[in-house]
């Protein structure tokens, strides 16, 4: 059975979408971490 070029395109789009979502999620985690560190250093209550 020959691979379907359409399914390759779909997989490529899914992979790029998953990569973008992972980067956004990682940036959010870093942002929350940085805010938490800033609050701890400033001595602010939770």
Side-chain-side CA neighbours of 8 within 13 Å: the count stands at 4
Q: Is residue 40 part of a domain?
A: yes
Separation CA 41–CA 46 (nearest Å): 12
Domain residues for the domain of 29 are: 18-46
Q: Is residue 6 part of a domain?
A: no
Q: Is residue 35 part of a domain?
A: yes
Question: Is residue 3 predicted with pLDDT exceeding 90?
Answer: no
Per-residue pLDDT, 5: 72
Q: Is residue 4 part of a domain?
A: no
pTM (2 decimals)? 0.70
Q: Is residue 44 part of a domain?
A: yes
Per-residue pLDDT reduced to its tens digit, 12-36: 999 999 999 999 999 999 999 999 9
Q: How many structural domains comprise the chain?
A: 1
Separation CA 9–CA 1 (nearest Å): 17
């Amino acid at each position: 059975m020959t691979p379907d070029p359409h399914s390759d395109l779909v997989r490529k789009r899914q992979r790029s979408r998953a990569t973008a979502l992972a980067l956004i999620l990682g940036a959010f985690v870093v942002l929350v971490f940085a805010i938490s560190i800033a609050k701890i250093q400033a001595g602010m209550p939770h």
